[in-house]
Structure 1
Amino acid sequence: MTKISPKPIKIINEEVKWDKTQTIISKTDIHGTILYMNDAFEEASEYNKIELIGEPHNIIRHPDMPKVAFKVLWNALKKGENFHAIVKNLTRTGRYYWVITDFTVDKNEQGEITGYTGRRKAVPNGVIEKIEPLYKTLLEIEKIKGEKASELYFDAFLKEETKKTYDEFVIDLFQSEIRDTKILEEDNKENKLKKSLNWFFFGDFL
């Protein structure tokens, strides 16, 4: 049996090199145990499939990520809601990679939740520059005042400064970035960006 290496002790402030045109895909059960991962996941995380299948997905959680971001994520998924999140992940060698994730809920014929599918793509630098300061603030509050204080601040930030849920906030960041960089043609924007990021993950935006 192959034994995986533990999380790296040394964190390296360096982005891992991976093909950012690819979509990273993984499937987990309801507890977050990895059931499937594609080749792009291997390349970005620096783990192989044999090592990660059966392991908890949080093995790639970067210490720069505030816990409240994952709490909001899991609360939504447990309710059966699809969800978007911007995440900084940790690689096997201690490096990092940023992704935007589209989480969908997997259900059986009886409508019961059986697991979750995550599709991830690289995050534009403009989006990282906007969300990284928020994550740093949440993490500092968490370290000094505790997770509850961080959660309260996050909730107040979303209500007072964005007037949106976290999921809506993430979508809005991408809308703004795409408008600023003019990735899409003007006549496509209105229809493609209104309600979701499906165009981004499923490649129907070109």
Structure 2
Amino acid sequence: MKKPAPINEEIVLDPKRYIVSETDEHGKLTFCNDYFIEICGYSKEELLGNPHSIIRHPDMPKIVFKLLWETISQGKNINAVIKNLAKDGRYYWVFTEFESRRDTDTGKIIGYTASRKTISKHVTEIISDLYAKLLEIEKAEGIEASEAYLNAYLKDKGEDITFQNFMENIHKFY
């Protein structure tokens, strides 16, 4: 499926509704709630079985997804601010809570659940500047340089600030 060309038009989310999706352990969509389908503009048939990255916006730095996958593949939950791309090229910002799902018998990770809610304009302004810088570094120097910049950025915020802490704090305090 061909990705749409991004346009500079934001989809305003209903702060009282959640976007929910589930994937298998490889990131292929296995469930999407009605609000997810409504917002992203794809049909259920277009979504299920396809990689969740179908809605990945090109403004998102790869380092964010690298950190997400490293965390959830270890069975740990993580939160992140994500910019998604709808089928019509519009975008929407969400604060996403990623959780691992495990087989009740074996404990093996069998998939992931993502629940998303709207975030304030102030948060998107802060994070979009950081993401733009990370993306610029990735394009010029690669993902390792982007990760080094992010680590330095987080260290500047405080000794023990991790990406996870930063994401939680930015959502709580802004």
Q: Same fold (TM over 0.5)?
A: yes
| Aligned residue in 2 for 1:170 | 167
User: Which one of the candidate residues 56, 59, 63 is aligned to 1:61?
Assistant: 56
Shift of 1:161: 2.4
CA contact (8 A) 1:162 1:169 kept: no
Shift of 1:90: 0.3
Shift of 1:17: 4.3
Structure 1 gaps of 5+ residues are 178-206
| Aligned residue in 1 for 2:101 | 106
Identity %: 46
- Using the alignment, how far apart are the partners of 2:112 and 2:52 within structure 1? 11
Q: How many residues align?
A: 172
Deviation readout 1:106-146 (Å, 9 max, x if unpaired): 00121111100000011111111111110010011011111
- Using the alignment, how far apart are the partners of 1:162 and 1:71 within structure 2? 22
Shift of 1:20: 3.5
**SS, match of residue 64 in structure 1:** coil
Shift of 1:75: 0.2
CA contact (8 A) 2:71 2:77 kept: yes
Higher relative contact order (CA 8 A, sep 6+): 2
- Using the alignment, how far apart are the partners of 1:124 and 1:162 within structure 2? 23
User: Which one of the candidate residues 3, 6, 13 is aligned to 2:8?
Assistant: 13
| Aligned residue in 2 for 1:135 | 131
The letter of the residue matching 1:111 is: G
CA contact (8 A) 1:26 1:119 kept: yes
- Using the alignment, how far apart are the partners of 2:108 and 2:89 within structure 1? 37
The letter of the residue matching 2:143 is: E
TM-score, scaled to structure 1? 0.80
| Aligned residue in 1 for 2:149 | 153
User: Which one of the candidate residues 42, 48, 55 is aligned to 2:43?
Assistant: 48
CA contact (8 A) 1:30 1:114 kept: yes
| Aligned residue in 2 for 1:185 | none
**SS, match of residue 31 in structure 1:** coil
- The RMSD of aligned alpha carbons is 1.2
- Using the alignment, how far apart are the partners of 1:170 and 1:38 within structure 2? 24
Shift of 1:18: 4.2
- Using the alignment, how far apart are the partners of 2:142 and 2:171 within structure 1? 30
Write out the 4+ residue segments of structure 1 that deviate beyond 6 Å after TM superposition: none
Shift of 1:160: 2.4
